[in-house]
Structure 1
Amino acid sequence: MAGIHHDTAAHRFTTEVDGHGAYVEYEAGEGRIAITHTIVPPEIGGRGIAAALVQTALEYARDHGLAVDPQCSYADVWMRRHPEFDALRA
């Protein structure tokens, strides 16, 4: 998988795999971010891409002292499965 890029203007963490784009989208707020969408096309699904994108977004939040509101169901489930990120939950 190619690297993950933080597109601050679009509020997305993005990557491209086999010519297909995937991303996690968020809304920025005061001291927090809300993860609103995790999008991975079916052509590249099942490779851990969504997990890598969500983890990158959470690591960004942790590094910048931001709380996370996982409004996207995938991000919410991922956080529940990775309790090391519990302290970030808004």
Structure 2
Amino acid sequence: MGPFTDARDDNRFEQMFDGEGGEGRVWADYAVRGGARMILHVEADQSLRGSGAAGRFMQAMAEHAREHGLKLFPQCSYAVAWHKRHPDYDDVLA
């Protein structure tokens, strides 16, 4: 698992993971709204689908938000569902 990064120029969070088909990337496109990041879309490379990498990425994103004082506003169905299953990260929701 690689480091969680905020590619601010691209409005994208991303992280590399090892999957069955080799290394792959999970990313989330976001829009900036003040101190909040609206999570527009979360996607994983095909090689990582079903591996749990997207869930680990979501946890890393929530921890990053907590660490940097950011608020997350999930918009895509995956991010919304993940946050509903993880109320321990409600403090990072906008």
Fold conserved between structures, TM > 0.5: yes
- Which residue in 2 is equivalent to 1:62? 66
C-alpha distance 15-89 of structure 1, shift in aligned 2 (>3 A): closer
State the distance in 2 between where 1:53 and 1:12 align: 12
Give yes or no for contact 1:24–1:53 (8 Å, CA) kept in 2: no
Gaps of 5+ in 1: none
The alpha carbon displacement at 1:61 in A equals 1.4
Residue correspondence of structure 1 range 43-62 to structure 2 within 5 A: 43-62=47-66
Aligned counterpart for 1:39 among listed residues 28, 36, 43:
43
TM-score, normalisation: structure 2: 0.79
Report the identity percentage. Answer: 32
- Which residue in 1 is equivalent to 2:92? 88
1:11-70 Cα deviation digits (max 9, x unpaired) = 222233414332122222212111111111333211111112211221121122222110
TM-score, normalisation: structure 1: 0.81
Tell me the matched-pair count: 90
State the distance in 1 between where 2:69 and 2:55 align: 21
- Which residue in 2 is equivalent to 1:14? 14
Give yes or no for contact 1:13–1:53 (8 Å, CA) kept in 2: no
RMSD: 1.8
The alpha carbon displacement at 1:83 in A equals 0.7
